[in-house]
Amino acid sequence: MTLENQTVDNVSKKIIDDACADKEKIIDDARIKEREILETAEGKKKKIIENAQAQAKDAYRKVKELEIANAVMKFNHENLLDKIKFIDEISNKALNRLISSDSKTYLKFIENSIKNLNVYSADYQIGSKEKLITGEILKKISGDIILALSDKPADFEKGIKIIDGKKQYIISVEEVLKEKMEDIIMEISDFLFEKE
């Protein structure tokens, strides 16, 4: 081999060696970059998963709180309806019992109501379904008040109506109780459910 050939071979070998070294360096750099890219992607993926999990937990917590609040509200609503039904039953029973109380108590109520009117002479009407009061009984319990039967038919069912000129007074246990029923119901509610 000639020196020239040997020089060419040495140069070729040097070029090949340098190329191999460059190749290894390029491959190593590529591996490092690949690792960096994968680590960055893994970090991003981990953050995305953590954020998604946090959002899912938050959404679950909110839905759970809403469901609990909805269940509590539904229970409270049903409980309130039961209380209202219970109070209505009690108040209706009380109203019916008072309305159908014995005749002495009822007549005493009518007598006291007439005396408290501050009327000296008036017309009267008796309710179309009134069973306990008649004109005769009314004249007995009215005392010094002069009462005359009105020409007009009664436009109510229970109790009596005293007509003093333009003033009209309906005297009926049912009417008095209906006027006061809301107050009575509130008192019953406070008494029954005061601790709630």
Q: Model confidence over 50-96: pLDDT tens digits?
A: 888 989 898 889 999 999 999 999 998 888 888 888 888 877 777 67
Q: What is the mean pLDDT of residues 146-171?
A: 86
Q: Say what the pTM is.
A: 0.47
Residue pointed to by tokens 């999990």:
53
Q: What is the pLDDT of residue 68?
A: 93
- Written as six digits, the tokens of 168 are 């009209």
Q: What is the pLDDT of residue 3?
A: 65
In this predicted structure, the answer to whether residue 98 has a pLDDT above a threshold of 70 is no
What's the mean pLDDT when you consider all of the chain? 81
Q: What is the mean pLDDT of residues 125-145?
A: 83
Query: Cβ(124)–Cβ(161) under 8 Å?
Result: yes
Q: How far apart are CA 26 and CA 81, in angstroms?
A: 80
Lowest mean pLDDT among 13-17, 34-38, 123-127: 13-17
CATH number at 102-193: 3.30.2320.30
Q: What is the pLDDT of residue 110?
A: 81
Confidence of residue 99 (pLDDT cuts 50, 70, 90): low
In this predicted structure, the answer to whether residue 150 has a pLDDT above a threshold of 80 is yes
Q: What percent of the chain has pLDDT over 70?
A: 91
Q: Which residues make Cβ contacts (< 8 Å) with residue 67, sequence separation at least 6?
A: none
Adjacent-strand bridge partners of 164: 167
